[in-house]
Structure 1
């Protein structure tokens, strides 16, 4: 474990409306990772919750900023506070400078304006104007022009309207998301695969420490008979407990992860089996390698960290969050009805699905 003197420092940089949080190595003086990028126009606030820093925007969407221990959590919150205070002072100084410049301009221009008002105004000589009486023109109905047609306002196409699903990710980013999720799933490092070989795919961001994820699990298992179900585990709700539970699962070979993942959702007398993987008896006919401790599987730890970063970068508001292979959010009500789900997926033309899947990364 690294000593406190070698702890990576948190830095917060604000350029315009963009806030970037990254972690720099104190010894090397280089950036080791970027934690998140935020748009300050969403009026984010930060607070401590369960030994973690939670970011909340004006619309109520929340996500957690990843830290390794309570010391890093307090350092991150302190760095955010300092950066936001500096940014607020700079904005106040710019406003005061603008008011000062305006006052200077008014003060310098006041004497000139006073002299301009004192200049004599020379009126032209009065002229007698005899009005001529003319008869009103007769209306010429033949030459009367028709009223100009009223131009109709162009209607905004449905493709240009952002979906009203509570997901703030821009449409152009959503267009590239299915291909990115597909490529990540193909690497077999970040996912738990429920099924394969079907025509359509559902990508799921899920946390075993999330009560809604627990309730949805049986529906996902049912859907895996008709759709490819690919889960990206994230420790959003369970925090350290979820990290301890998920890491051993991702340590396993891809074909063994589903069995280990299912155990995290098996109800136990004391609650969810988070961080307590138990091997099934050999008599069940399932051979599962013993999961490694969370601290010994570096690849799984990094994969889980990348999943968490993607969760934040894609502005996912909560778990479980299901994305179809054409980039649309799938409501949970549809996941409990395979017929309605199929109709929902079929609403997107096959040609458009192909175009989205071929979008550049």
Structure 2
């Protein structure tokens, strides 16, 4: 019998393992490994040893002894990747700081490179996409409480968005925000765009463009968008999904640097694919939370409800 494949992601200090598909497979478990995690195999089980706590059995299958070993290999690879990204993450945010200094002189460059012939393009609303309701029922235990690492991630993304260099503000004016790393040449990114527009009626959507999928072809499309003034980027971004031939603004040095920083940040945080959605409290948003209005509302508000209970 073919053994199941395991895929492990580390976002901050939250480890999630899925089965058979890295992005959409069923979740096997989620845990916080800590600074010095210790995983080992006992008989046919994978064990997680925590300080001052009982050993935790994460997986067990006596009918297929090799599964626990495959799972241990996936966890080890994820932990090794985390170690490799720590130094790179520091370099990324030094880059963010450097580009922040450029805003004082860069805004003038952005204004000069924008061409006034770019008129906002209309886009039909997607009635079938999920919307965030005003009221919802909280399901206990649906999501975990944000860790300090996720809070730091949220703070960094919020700061980067406020610098108005690295993002496309797809929607604004709401109390909550979703950050999206997206490549316009990524098929899944194109599929989810109508959903982002729909939920953008209730939450802010900040797009961090990256060139993960299309590389140079993506860069040729995205850099001119980042070169435009922030209030015009929404229309230019949407035109990439509707009628790319209608948009031909000029490129600029700041746009190139902004895209490069976004790509480095995407890699440094260990994100695996696009689109990558992050809530304004740092939690990664699963696609399952976008299936209907209630699920998204529960997910976005769960951490805040938990904080109130703990006070």
Once the 2 structures are TM-superposed, how far is the Cα of residue 339 of structure 1 from its aligned partner? 2.4
Match of 1:302 in 2: 257
Note the alpha carbon deviations across 1:301-355, whole angstroms, 9 max, x for none.
Answer: 00000001110111111100000011111111222423210111111126849xx
Q: Which residue of 2 aligns with 1:226?
A: 202
Aligned-partner SS, 2:190: helix
Provide Cα deviations, 1:40-61, integer angstroms capped at 9, x if missing partner: xxxxxxxxxxxxxxxxx946x9
CA distance in 2, matches of 1:253, 1:228: 18
Are 1:335 and 2:290 counterparts?
A: yes
Instruction: State the Cα RMSD in Å.
Output: 3.0
Per the TM alignment, residue 263 of structure 1 is displaced from its structure 2 partner at its CA by 1.2
Residue of structure 2 aligned with 1:240, choices 206, 216, 222:
216
Please show how residues 62-141 of structure 1 align to structure 2 within 5 Å: none
1:195 offset after TM fit, Å?
1.4
Counterpart Cα distance in 1 of 2:304 and 2:147: 17
Count matched residues: 174
Unaligned runs of 5+ in 2: 1-75, 82-140
**Residue aligning to 1:319:** 274
Q: Which has the higher contact order (CA 8 A, sep 6+)?
A: 2
Cα deviation digits, residues 105-130 of structure 1 (max 9, x gap):
xxxxxxxxxxxxxxxxxxxxxxxxxx
TM-score (ref. length: structure 2) = 0.51
Provide the rounded CA distance (Å) in 1 between the counterparts of 2:176 and 2:307: 14
Residue from 190, 194, 202 that aligns with 1:214:
190
For residue 278 of structure 1, the aligned residue among 228, 246, 251 is: 246
CA distance in 1: counterparts of 2:156 and 2:77, whole angstroms: 29
Q: In the TM superposition, what whole-angstrom CA distance separates every residue of 1:168-215 from its partner, at most 9, and x where no partner exists?
A: xx9543220111111111111000011112121100000001000000
Secondary structure, aligned partner of 2:303: coil
For the Cα contact (< 8 Å) 1:193–1:254, is it kept in 2?
Answer: yes
Match of 1:174 among 120, 125, 150: 150
- TM-score of the superposition, structure 1-length normalised? 0.44
